[in-house]
Structure 1
Amino acid sequence: MEKGIFEGLKVLDCASFIAAPAAATVLSDFGADVIKIEPPGHGDPYRNLPNLPGYPASQHNFAWMLESRNKKSLALDLSKPEGKEVLYRLAAEADVFITNFPPGVRKRLGITYEELKPLNERLVYASFTGYGEKGEEADKPGFDSNAYWARSGLMDLVRADENTTPARSIAGMGDHPCAMAFYGAIVTALYKRERSGKGSHVSSNLMANGVWAASVLAQAKLCGAKFSERRTREHALNAVTNHYRCKDGRWLILSLLNEDRQWPTLARCLEREDLVTDPRFVTRPDRHARSLELIKIFDEIFATKDLAEWRKILDGNGLVFGVVGILDDIPHDKQMIENEVLVPFENDTMLTINSPIWVDGSQKVKPRRAPGIGEHSDEILRAAGYDEAAIRQLRATGAVA
């Protein structure tokens, strides 16, 4: 039975918070053997995320179980020469080394690409940073809330108008898209290795991914485009690409880009076919010119039925619309479950979130529980050729826990 596309691929995950380790998780979903390297004691600081103020209360470490599924944990102190020597031995046999330490920290610890490359010419060295590998901000720490969401302009652009408070991002909202980009960089390097036989250094960062996410409007700015005044929902320029509140307080969003064809269908579904011949709204320019009037009409109509009723009415008519989902929807989302967006952990009924890539004819591994701190230290060391006496010595020095 196939164990995954990346069966036999050895990955060292020497990273934390969140994009870089999540890229390793995607590799593990496709069968890669991922060793999570974390410091002895409290382990990866990411383990503590759910304990921070404002996070949901749970008996499960939901952050760790998501990002570290399928991995084995080695508690290793890289500040000690003995710990660094263990890392060097593992890197000599690894296929991928992943880190998000800033360049200066990598240099101080002796784990730069230039130092690991001579150990293994086939190694793919993947580094992730907040603001890139060069320049005065290269060593500046960054989370997705500041380097991705705020720096890129996204935090400002999603405001309803210029007087609205900038919108905060949620945990991992930028990190997880960045993880997919970083995964793509790693897989590209592996493909290059297949052709050249040599590894390489690949990198990505939060800032670049943030601007990429905002790139339609960012490119407009780079072209010197003239921007319109930002408008609130009630003053939107197009009523059929707007969002509306239903009777039960839930929201839906219309996205009718093929407006000329879809306008009569929408009017029929809303039981307001009179709007099609209403002289105020006959043509697209008419509807746009009087968007405020049309929004008010739609507000009144959508407020008459619950979201579930509107879904039944609008579905199957070729109209493009979406539910403004809430977290309560997700555990019971039939479409997500049938398409394996949500999958159960191995030998468990609890669901987790799948990585958003599928390859026809290849199965992903069933998600396995995330490891405890150093849970697999001895197993990993034995596989690397350390005997029991050597392992005891490493533990005695504190290099391994």
Structure 2
Amino acid sequence: MKGLEGIKVIDLTSYVAAPASPRILGEMGATVYKIEPATGDEYRTNAPGFGMKKTDIDDPSFDFASMNKIFVSINLKSEEGHELIEKMLADADILITSFRDKALVKLGLDWESVHERHPHLVWAQMRGYGEYGPDKNTKGFDATAYAARGGWFACLPQAGEHYQPINWPAAMGDWNASLALTAGVLAALARKDRTGEGDKVTVTLHHAALWPMQMMLGGTQFGDKWPKSRYNVTCPTNNTYQTKDGVWFIICYGSYDIFYDHTMRTIGLDDMVGNERYNKNAEINDGSGRNEEVVRIMEKQFLTKTWAEWEPIFKANEIPYEKLYLPEDILADEEVYASDILRKVHYDAFGEKAIPTSPIRLDSMGDPVLHKSRPIGYDTAEVMHEYGYSDEDIQRMDGDSVTCYHGPDLPDSVFEPSYGPRSKRD
């Protein structure tokens, strides 16, 4: 057995944060059934909004959250559609949804109802906001519940007269939240394995946004201010600087007092070594402006050499550093392909496009084998056969309780798996 082979997941989700979690589980070997209405997941229409292109067959943007899935279209409001989903839930291990509470109650798919009928089932929900606050019924998206309410838009730009909110890569918070949901699902799955009983898992975009904001929120309670200028950072040895030839980079020594002398000696500021005006982190942040003085001294020094001159100095002295990468730099980075962080996947319409893989690796699985998404309802008939429906049943229900695919034959490229350098092929 490899990874999660044999585990069945029912995916009642849309957009990114929730469906990305089943994609991760699928890369771990689980069988994932993506349930869509006849009109499909609205996310299927979003490629242009991400600066991408799509066709009816090739859609890299939809693949981001929906690779490694089986595509079934069910009208959950119909009696026979409800009967089909009930059969699938009885046979599944995990249900993941992004539906809001009122819709779940109407469909009989809320936690309490599902747990009563299927006590073995792990039930997981991605929410915009928490279950108990004033916004518990508010629709939440990555840009609203995560980036705006979580402080990212307003707090991370450079402070100053030209302040504007940051540009936010679409769904960035969704991907981060999906990892939290996956962790919760796997914990509940472990409990189910020991007790036979499913558990309820909830993750909110709002909560996931604030989890990585702990240092900012903590510092604010002690007088630190955000947004801020890079000249007013509290730790000058953990800051961005620019070289003589215009390359931006960061050095990352958060333990200022410990590494102050080593940093100053390494970058050629010997007169700063042991300087009691500047070598204590708490003292330079006493409101006197000494933190900014240190930044400007270091900035002036870094402007004396090119990146080609500074990088070997950093390496020789084990200074933690990194150049600030643009998307074009990332896509050309040997590291991302050697470690299967990005995978080049072929699309007939667009050629090779780099797709991020899940950041989780199981040795039993190796690098995940990726399978592209397919059209709405492409697998409906096949799945219904698996659950005992006859051809006559399927024909009768098609167009009402379910939607089956009746489009043109798909090219072989849609079904060709993508392998990483350490994928384990059967």
Q: Give TM-score, length-normalised by structure 1.
A: 0.87
Q: CA RMSD in A?
A: 2.9
Partner of residue 227 from structure 1, selected from 218, 223, 230? 223
Partner of residue 270 from structure 1, selected from 267, 283, 303? 267
Tell me the residue number matched to 2:152.
154
1:12–1:98 contact (8 Å) kept in structure 2: yes
Q: Structure 1 stretch 148-157 or stretch 265-274: which is displaced more?
A: 265-274
CA distance in 1, matches of 2:84, 2:63: 26
- Aligned-pair distance for 1:112? 1.7
SS of equivalent to 2:24:
helix
Tell me the residue number matched to 1:84.
82
SS of equivalent to 1:122:
coil
Query: Structure 1 323/212 Cα, relative in aligned 2: closer, same or farther at 3 Å?
Result: same
Query: Structure 1 316/20 Cα, relative in aligned 2: closer, same or farther at 3 Å?
Result: farther
SS of equivalent to 2:104:
helix
Tell me the residue number matched to 2:313.
313
Partner of residue 360 from structure 2, selected from 357, 360, 366? 357
CA deviation string 1:186-233 (max 9, x = no partner): 111111111111112221111121222223343566xxx331344411
CA distance in 2, matches of 1:364, 1:74: 26
- Aligned-pair distance for 1:254? 1.6
- Aligned-pair distance for 1:304? 4.6
Q: Are 1:292 and 2:295 counterparts?
A: no
**Residue identity matched to 1:337:** Y
Tell me the residue number matched to 1:400.
403
Structure 2 residue runs of 5 or longer lacking an equivalent are 405-426
CA distance in 1, matches of 2:246, 2:26: 40
2:3–2:364 contact (8 Å) kept in structure 1: no
CA deviation string 1:254-273 (max 9, x = no partner): 22234455445444543444
Tell me the residue number matched to 1:169.
168
Query: Structure 1 46/58 Cα, relative in aligned 2: closer, same or farther at 3 Å?
Result: closer
- Aligned-pair distance for 1:391? 0.8
SS of equivalent to 1:11:
strand
Query: Structure 1 391/239 Cα, relative in aligned 2: closer, same or farther at 3 Å?
Result: same
CA deviation string 1:69-119 (max 9, x = no partner): 111111222232222222111111111111010000111223222333344
Tell me the residue number matched to 2:210.
211
Query: Structure 1 364/384 Cα, relative in aligned 2: closer, same or farther at 3 Å?
Result: farther
Q: Give TM-score, length-normalised by structure 2.
A: 0.83
Q: Structure 1 stretch 177-186 or stretch 316-325: which is displaced more?
A: 316-325
Q: Structure 1 stretch 108-117 or stretch 317-326: which is displaced more?
A: 108-117
CA distance in 1, matches of 2:112, 2:278: 66
CA distance in 2, matches of 1:14, 1:377: 15
Query: Structure 1 78/181 Cα, relative in aligned 2: closer, same or farther at 3 Å?
Result: same
Tell me the residue number matched to 1:256.
253
SS of equivalent to 2:237:
helix
Paired residues, number = 394
1:346–1:367 contact (8 Å) kept in structure 2: no
1:31–1:364 contact (8 Å) kept in structure 2: no
Residues 170-189 of structure 1 mapped to structure 2, 5 A cutoff: 170-189=169-188
CA deviation string 1:240-294 (max 9, x = no partner): 2221123444311122234455445444543444543778657767877644344
2:241–2:249 contact (8 Å) kept in structure 1: yes
